[in-house]
A and B are shown apart, each in its own frame.
Chain A
Amino acid sequence: MTLPRRMGMTAGAALLLVLAVLAGICIGETAIPLGTVWKVMSNRLWGAGHAVDPIDGGIIWAYRLTRALVAGACGAGLAVCGVILQSLLRNPLADPYLLGISAGASTGAVLVTVAGVGAGAISLSAGALGGALLAFGLVAVLAKAAGGGAGTRGAGQIILAGIAGSQLFNALTSFIITKSASAEQARGILFWLLGNLSGVRWPDVWVAVPAAVLIVIVAAVHNRALDAFTFGAESAASLGVPVRRVQAVLIVATALATAVLVSVVGSIGFVGLVVPHAARFVVGVRHARLVPAAALIGAVFLIAVDVLSRILVQGQVLPIGVVTALVGAPAFALLLIRGGARR
């Protein structure tokens, strides 16, 4: 790609992201005019000193902007994690939760909120992060013990270990809920598990955005290595890729990023599985283009879905994980059909 063309694409992507965030700010139960958004943003960013309604200011800055930023970060981060795992493990069904992370996070969250572990000193997010990392650690140890490592066989072992770990932690979660949760608590947990952006504030932005940016950078740095896995791990090795190191670095990075994102917003499904495929339909399988495309599509998609989840049912916010699948599945079906026709 020529330099001017690449700069054009980057500018276009940035513009699209800004537009999505603006839409996330303006649209909601009360619509906010763009003019007001502009005034609040310029007050905040460079102290322009416009007169604005403090309530509008609060909604825009503390509520809707943070929400849109976290949604964008999660969308981009999960989509790129999906790209990495699908390419590395040579499995189109791989998603970021494959490594037991979402199951572990739910166990951690339930332990904190229902079983009262930590006696209130540990937040739900911290519990979820702890559970996610513990589950991934277990899956990694199991995969290694089962002979996973370099080679295509290693990929199979990681997937199977992930399934075993997920089942175990899901069972633990159900066990704790049925043993000690009230119906109200169970509902709250279910809501959290399906993804929830309502409590998001600035501290969450400072956790989610760096996690997403880091995983996108890690993936971009490894784009050629990921390409080399096209014909399997052994072929990658014969092309000079240090397979074991690349697998270890990428899987650990993916697990950490996913665990952090899940601890902030719960396990939003669908994005990490399907956005990578949608991105492949649009830009092809080479990672130099696939990684940025998946990040952009994931971010814009999740911001848009968050807006929908707020306005779809009057006076009620739907769990975002429900809406991602409700909106995303038909959209993806359309892409599949068109992609099939093109062939």
Chain B
Amino acid sequence: MIRISGVGWRTKGTHIVRDVSLTVSQGQRFGLIGPNGSGKSTLLRLIAGLQTPTSGQVRLQGKTLAELGRRGIARRLAFVAQAAETADRITVRDAVGLGRTPWLSALSPWSAEDDRIVTEALAAVDMARFDRRDWMTLSGGERQRVHIARALAQRPQILLLDEPANHLDIHHQLSILRLIGDLGLTTMIALHDLNQAMECDRLGVMHKGQLIATGTPAEVMTPDLLARVFGVRIRELVDPVDGAKVLRFHEIC
């Protein structure tokens, strides 16, 4: 469970994130939407403890980040950043193996169990065939899937993903989002595709550093709000096969 209260982050006098409070309950999939620069990534980094809030507090499963400590956070929460790159000639398998770092120490070295977890994580993102490949030789979407596999190898209870579907082809977009859904973890996910956002249990809308609305997709995705935040007009269509709503967008002239 994630509970944040009054969290803010300011730098050089400007508020990048201001007074955000929200709760994501166990097993819930929480989608974060908002225009470029609205503070989605910053909010996720504050929750992951990669940035220290200038005000407010983040609690994971009832404990503050300070109580958990770096390793404690990493054992509970995995974070897939928007872009992380390396020039090292690391293999895919070793890159995923890094996810075991918070669980390893001098007293509990790498074991067959760790190997099994890495193999499973690779299979989950459909990258098992690539396990001996060099990172440098992967395509953008393949790299994204390896990052997600590394997060899975951390065996977290909470998963934070910053635009995980970026770079992915439509098949892998759907399969990664389904995988994330099937895992049953507490998940917070920043998204740009509003149709994908419709699949979340709950949504939060970021606008100029503030969380201006939370609720179910149906409650949040109102024409008014989308016009105000994104400057677009929406039309809802209904898929005749399953009755699901599909959104179409038009610029407001």
Chain A residues near B (Cβ < 8 Å): 90, 92, 221, 224, 227-228, 230-232, 234-235, 237-243, 280, 284-286, 343
Any A CB within 8 A of the CB of B74: yes
Instruction: Tell whether, in the assembled complex, residue B98 and residue A242 are in contact, meaning their CB atoms are under 8 Å apart.
Output: no
For A228, give the chain B residue with the smallest CB separation.
B101
The number of residues on chain B lying at the interface, defined by a beta carbon within 8 Å of a beta carbon of chain A, is 31
22 A-B pairs within 8 Å (CB atoms) are namely: A90-B86, A90-B87, A224-B101, A228-B101, A230-B90, A231-B84, A231-B86, A232-B85, A234-B50, A235-B84, A237-B50, A238-B50, A239-B102, A240-B71, A240-B72, A240-B73, A240-B101, A242-B71, A284-B90, A284-B94, A286-B94, A343-B137
Give Cα distance in the complex from A242 to B73, angstroms. Answer: 11
What does the 1/0 interface line of B62-73 toward A look like (CB < 8 Å)? 000000001111
Known contacts A230-B98, A238-B50, A239-B98: A284-B89 contact under CB 8 Å = yes
Q: How far is the CA of A317 from the CA of B196 in the complex (A)?
A: 72
List chain B positions with a Cβ less than 8 A from chain A.
48-50, 70-75, 78-79, 81, 84-91, 94-95, 98-99, 101-102, 104, 106, 134, 137, 154
Dominant secondary structure of chain B at its interface with chain A: mixed
Query: Contact: A92 with B87, CB < 8 Å?
Result: yes
Min CB distance A192 to B, Å, is 35
A233 to B48, CA, bound (A): 14
Q: Are B154 and A239 in contact (CB under 8 A)?
A: yes
Find out whether the CB atom of A230 lies under 8 angstroms from the CB atom of B86.
yes
What chain B residues lie within 8 Å of A231 (beta carbons)?
84-86, 95, 98
A235 to B143, CA, bound (A): 14
Name the CB-closest residue of B to A245: B70
- Whether B84 pairs with A227 at a CB distance below 8 angstroms is no
A182 to chain B, nearest CB (A): 47
The closest CB in chain A to the CB of B72 belongs to A240
Q: Which of A221, A231, A238, A343 has the most CB of B within 10 A?
A: A238
How far, in angstroms, from A78 to B183 measured CA to CA in the complex? 47
Cross-chain contact B75 with A240 (CB below 8 angstroms):
yes
Given contacts A92-B87, A231-B86, A232-B84, whether A238 and B48 have CB atoms under 8 Å apart is yes
- B residues in contact with A238, CB < 8 Å: 48, 50, 74, 78-79, 81
Q: In the complex, are the beta carbons of A241 and B86 less than 8 A apart?
A: no
Assembled-state Cα–Cα distance A242/B72 (Å): 11
**Smallest CB separation, A264 vs chain B (Å):** 31
Most B CB atoms within 10 A — which of A227, A232, A239, A286?
A239
Residues of A within 8 A of B81 (CB): 234-235, 238
Bound CA–CA A234/B147 (angstroms) = 14
In the bound complex, residues from chain A placing their C-beta under 8 Å from that of B84 are 231-232, 234-235
- Report the nearest A residue to B84, measured CB to CB: A231
Whether the pair B50, A285 counts as a contact (CB closer than 8 A) is: no
Q: A35 vs B75: C-alpha distance in the bound complex, in angstroms?
A: 59
A284 / chain B contacts, CB cutoff of 8 Å: 89-91, 94
Q: B79 contacts which chain A residues (CB < 8 A)?
A: 238
Closest 9 CB pairs of A and B: A240-B74, A240-B102, A240-B71, A231-B84, A239-B101, A238-B79, A285-B88, A242-B70, A228-B101
Q: A284-B89, A286-B94 are contacts. A239–B104 as well, Cβ < 8 Å? A: no
CA distance in complex: A146, B85 (Å): 24
With the chains together, A231 CA to B85 CA distance in Å? 5
- A285-B90 CB under 8 A given contacts A234-B50, A239-B154: yes
CA distance in complex: A284, B124 (Å): 26
Q: Which residues of chain A come closer than 8 Å to B137, judged between CB atoms?
A: 343
| Measured CA separation A240–B106 after assembly (Å) | 15
Residue of B nearest to A242 (CB): B70
**CB-based contact A240/B50 at 8 Å:** no
Instruction: For the complex formed, measure the closest distance between the CB of A209 and the CB atoms of chain B, giving whole angstroms.
Output: 25
Closest to A237 in B: B50
**Closest CB of chain A to B150's CB: distance in Å?**
8
B172 to nearest A CB, angstroms?
A: 20
- The minimal Cβ–Cβ distance linking B162 to chain A, given in whole angstroms, is 11
Q: Please name the residue on chain B nearest to A233 by beta carbon.
A: B50
Say yes or no: A237 contacts B70, CB within 8 Å.
yes
Taken together as a complex, chains A and B put the C-alpha atoms of A214 and B84 apart, in Å, by 33
Complexed CA–CA distance, A286 and B101 (Å): 13
**Closest CB-CB distance, B81 to chain A, in whole Å?**
7
Q: Are B70 and A240 in contact (CB under 8 A)?
A: yes
Q: State how many angstroms separate the Cβ of A147 from the closest Cβ of chain B.
A: 12
**Cα distance, A316 to B36, chains bound together (Å):** 67
CB nearest neighbor in B for A243: B70
How far is it, in angstroms, between the C-alpha of A221 and the C-alpha of B134 when the chains are bound? 26
Residues B73 and A230 in contact, CB atoms below 8 Å apart: no
Q: What's the Cα separation between A92 and B79 when bound, in Å?
A: 26
Which residues of chain B have C-beta atoms less than 8 A from A234's C-beta? 50, 81, 84
Q: Are A239 and B74 in contact (CB under 8 A)?
A: yes
The listed residue (B70, B87, B90, B91) touching A241 by CB distance below 8 A is B70
**CB distance A285 to B89 under 8 Å?**
yes
Instruction: For the A-B complex with A239-B99, A280-B89 known, give 10 more contacts whose Cβ atoms are closer than 8 Å.
Output: A224-B101, A228-B98, A230-B95, A232-B85, A240-B70, A240-B72, A240-B73, A240-B102, A241-B70, A286-B94
